[in-house]
Amino acid sequence: MSKFKCAHCRGEFEREALIERGGELFCCEGCAGVYEILNASGLNEFYERLGKTTLNPAWGAKNAAQKSQEDLAAIYQNYVKNENGFSKISLIIEGIHCSACVWLNEKVLFAQKGILEVNINSVNNKALIVWDENEINLAQIFALIHSIGYEPYPYDAQAQEHRLAGQRREFYARLLVGIFCTMNIMWLAVAQYGGYFTGMRQDVRSIINFAEFILATPVLFYTGSGFFRGAWTALKNKTQNMDSLIVTGTLAAYIFSIYAMFSRQGEVYFDSVAMIITFVFIGKYLEILSKKKAADTLDNLNSLNLNSVSVKNGDEIILKSAQEVRAGELVVVRAGERVLLDGVVVSGAASFDLSSLSGESAPAYLSAKDGENEIKSGSVCVDGTLVYEVGAVFSESVLARIINLLETAAAKKPKIQALADAISARFSAAITALALATFAFWFWRTGELSAALIVAISVVVISCPCALGLATPVSTLVALGAGFRRGILFKEARIIESLAKCDTAVFDKTGTLTSGRLKVSKFTHSGKFDASALFSLVSGSDHPISRAVGEYLRANFRDLKLLELKGFENIAARGVRAKFDGINLAGGSEKFMRELGLYNGEAVRETCYFFAADREIAAAFELKESLKDGAKECVDALKNAKMRVAMLTGDNEYAAKRVAEGLGIDETVANALPTDKAAYVERLAQQGRNVLMVGDGINDAAALALSSVAVCMGSGAAVSIAKSDVVLMRDDPVSLAAAVRLARRTYRIVRQNLAFSLVYNAVTIPLAMAGYVAPAVAALSMSLSSVAVVLNAMRARSER
């Protein structure tokens, strides 16, 4: 009975099993519905891109959509993240077979109002989707994906690990079969080669050939099955890849060897077939191990939210997944356990290792009785036991923000990878053309099919698009992991390249080069000074100078009262003003006092805070701050790296000069408002400089936004992560120098790997074309080149 194809999924069915609609045949109502949706949306191009690829029938969409609706609350709670007012989720989209499927899903999703970002990885079917909840919700997104015949479900690290574990077991089995059979083939090949010198009867040679055929067959079709799948996928999409080259070469040698074995004309090359597959497979195995090593940091972090925490429930201790714990619950932490949620210590005391957060090796002591009672996720209890109250769910914790940051960074490609991708896209087709030309030349020259075939196979096998493809992503992945272990978080992978190219470092002084903890060193006042009025005024400001004055007042004046001020106004980078009992109050910098017409004396040399009451200066505070440990070392390291270093500050000229001289900075801008800092960075950019701006992310947001790379120092505060490209978890300037060294080293390694890949192919391919390389040697050479690229990339881990 003749078969008919479904117009959507392309599956073949008997005519009676199909339904007809609009002149087209479909296997089910689901496929008919999807076909109508695509046509109504003007997405008929999907079927052209699909080619001969078959899809799974879409009959289960309705039930799956209903299931997703029932589980929606749990999905929102456990998997949806909120960033800048938008929702984000990582999904696995089941049913994606090829680039056409990726194209269709992205097209359909992007066409919907409210979907802001869609990134789908065709290798692991993982999709990152960002949307505006006011325009579209998750249920609608799920239904949309279902409507075109695909099955979405939230990405779960534990489920993914189970799937990968199964893949690893299959991988090991294929590896063992390949090694076992190839080693035995090599022994047989040694005996056969010996026969050339000592003589061997044809019947014995035929037996050896048949034994090699038996051993080579599982190597080619079982150990090499992954290469065949990859080659078939490429063929269906009318492209070529490394798998295409391997399959073409080995299959040609295998078929020719079968012909030679039965016709007894020419040599057999079963040993070459087995060695090519096995060597390349071993290379893949080493490559996977290295890539897993590079990705371990992120994988380990992802698995943390699966761990259980001890929750105090009355007199009982119960275990809960970190994602199930809610704000306000009490969690018990014992020695050796990792903190998975942020909170505040309520009882007990313990020491914590913060190295996974900041790279700081010295343990921190936390106690309910001390002021240091805020506990952060990611830290590890070294000794002691304490109980803390959870402040926020796991998705809002410092650890979750770090995991999200690293996931996003790993997903986005650096600019230099575009070059490698462009070369790789044309590489396989070019090699195929060279191999065919080589075959034609050698067949014309020697008249021997076997000789021409073997040389052509060597050309196909020795070429290595893999090394080109691995040059950038592995190096980047290693750098992200190495940076995290040092308390350096890159927001995107491309930032590593941008940071490596920076030639100018601009510092906002307070909080980066100096401690930011100002202390009053001198205090003068007049008869109109009211300590409570000033205390009330500075209490309304978060500026470090205001806080320092407030601390001085609390330490030196008793009976301070918080007065009810009216008309309170905070003027950025200048000061504050308000009214109390009809009296005008103002506090702030010398510049602010001059603008108000309250001060016309000589310019002050140190950082000063003035307090005016009833339009007269009632008090003046002189403040000083110390340089941060490591600030001088950082500046020296940047200057040794041939970077121009400048400092911006709102302080006066004298205070700025004093700090700059202590650090060896030649270029400073004092009395700078946030707008002045932004204008300075913009001028540098207009001069063609690649500017690295280092600030605290609070009063220099505009300057940070205008720089090539924005760096914030701190301990992973939300404001720092939101406004920067690089977050230094350790409040230590030396980390900045380490970040620059790491970025430059990584960029250098990427260029080395790209250069090595190009030189390797430029040298080895002509040698193979000239007939100087045997297929087995070609396979070994190609595998070693990929491993060499990965091992070179791993050197970024050793950066100190």
> Binning pLDDT at 50, 70 and 90, where does residue 215 land?
very high
Q: Is 285 a domain residue?
A: yes
Between the ranges 311-315, 398-402, 465-469, 497-501, where is the mean pLDDT highest? 497-501
> Binning pLDDT at 50, 70 and 90, where does residue 767 land?
very high
pLDDT-wise least confident of 12-21, 673-682, 723-732: 12-21
Question: Averaged over 650-655, what is the pLDDT?
Answer: 77
Report whether pLDDT(175) > 60.
yes
Each residue of 721-759: pLDDT tens digit? 556 788 887 778 888 999 999 999 988 988 888 888 888
Please report the sign of the dihedral spanned by the C-alpha atoms of residue 716, residue 722, residue 723, residue 724. Answer: positive
Q: Is 56 a domain residue?
A: no
Report whether pLDDT(61) > 50.
no
648 shares its domain with 671: yes
- List the CATH number of the domain containing 334: 2.70.150.10
655 shares its domain with 733: yes
Q: What was the pLDDT predicted at 60? A: 44
Contacts (Cβ under 8 Å, ≥6 apart) of 474 = 290, 291, 294, 789, 790, 793
pLDDT-wise least confident of 82-91, 92-101, 345-354, 692-701: 92-101
Surface-to-core class of residue 160, CB atoms within 10 Å of its CB (0-12 exposed, 13-18 middle, 19+ buried):
middle
Q: Is 119 a domain residue?
A: yes
Contacts (Cβ under 8 Å, ≥6 apart) of 721 = 401, 405, 489, 491, 712, 727
617 shares its domain with 655: no
Q: How far is CA 1 from CA 4, 12, 52, 57, in A?
A: 10, 12, 22, 21
Tokens 């020695």, located at residue: 335
Final residue belonging to a domain, choices 624, 640, 662: 624
Q: Is 789 a domain residue?
A: yes
524 shares its domain with 546: yes
Each residue of 378-426: pLDDT tens digit? 777 877 788 899 988 887 777 776 666 555 544 555 555 555 555 655 6
Report whether pLDDT(361) > 60.
no
Q: What was the pLDDT predicted at 236? A: 64
256 shares its domain with 179: yes
Virtual torsion, Cα 378, 381, 385, 387, nearest 10 deg: -10
Question: Averaged over 20-26, what is the pLDDT?
Answer: 75
508 is known as an active-site residue: yes
Report whether pLDDT(717) > 50.
no
Q: Is 397 a domain residue?
A: no
Structural domain boundaries enclosing 344 = 326-392
> Binning pLDDT at 50, 70 and 90, where does residue 492 land?
confident
Q: What was the pLDDT predicted at 421? A: 53
> Binning pLDDT at 50, 70 and 90, where does residue 155 land?
confident
Contacts (Cβ under 8 Å, ≥6 apart) of 632 = 662, 663, 664
Give me 140's structure tokens: 């609608």
Q: What was the pLDDT predicted at 247? A: 81
Report whether pLDDT(317) > 80.
yes
Q: What was the pLDDT predicted at 553? A: 92
Final residue belonging to a domain, choices 155, 184, 206: 155
- List the CATH number of the domain containing 97: 3.30.70.100
644 shares its domain with 702: yes
Give me 670's structure tokens: 């004092």
Q: CA-based Rg of the chain, rounded to a whole angstrom? A: 34
Q: What was the pLDDT predicted at 159? A: 63
Surface-to-core class of residue 663, CB atoms within 10 Å of its CB (0-12 exposed, 13-18 middle, 19+ buried):
buried
Share of the chain above pLDDT 90, in %: 11
Each residue of 418-463: pLDDT tens digit? 555 556 556 767 888 888 899 899 999 888 887 888 888 888 778 7
- List the CATH number of the domain containing 484: 3.40.50.1000
127 shares its domain with 207: no
Q: Is 762 a domain residue?
A: no
Q: Is 691 a domain residue?
A: yes
Each residue of 586-616: pLDDT tens digit? 999 888 898 888 888 887 777 789 999 988 8
462 shares its domain with 482: no
Between 498 and 72, residue with greater pLDDT: 498
184 shares its domain with 292: yes
Each residue of 76-128: pLDDT tens digit? 877 888 877 888 888 888 767 555 567 677 877 887 888 888 877 654 577 88
Instruction: Specify which residues 119 forms β-bridges with.
Output: 128
A 10 A CB-CB count for 717 gives 16
Q: What was the pLDDT predicted at 468? A: 64
- List the CATH number of the domain containing 569: 3.40.1110.10
Between 42 and 500, residue with greater pLDDT: 500
Alpha-carbon gap, residue 764 to 769, rounded angstroms: 9
359 shares its domain with 382: yes
Q: What was the pLDDT predicted at 163? A: 64
Q: Is 758 a domain residue?
A: no
The mean predicted confidence, pLDDT, of the chain is: 77
pTM above 0.95, yes or no: no
Each residue of 252-283: pLDDT tens digit? 878 888 887 888 776 777 877 887 788 778 76
Q: What was the pLDDT predicted at 281? A: 80
Rounded to 5°, angle at Cα 176 from 173 and 178:
110
Final residue belonging to a domain, choices 135, 155, 175: 155
Question: Averaged over 618-628, what is the pLDDT?
Answer: 85
Each residue of 557-571: pLDDT tens digit? 988 888 888 989 888
509 shares its domain with 645: yes
Q: What was the pLDDT predicted at 64? A: 42
A 10 A CB-CB count for 314 gives 7
Question: Averaged over 490-512, what is the pLDDT?
Answer: 84
> Binning pLDDT at 50, 70 and 90, where does residue 718 land?
very low
Annotated active-site residue in 271, 342, 508, 530: 508
> Binning pLDDT at 50, 70 and 90, where does residue 542 land?
confident
How many separate domains does the chain show? 6
617 shares its domain with 486: no
Give me 381's structure tokens: 């209890």
Instruction: Decide: 79 and 73 in contact? Cβ < 8 Å.
Output: no
Alpha-carbon gap, residue 8 to 22, rounded angstroms: 13
Report whether pLDDT(330) > 50.
yes
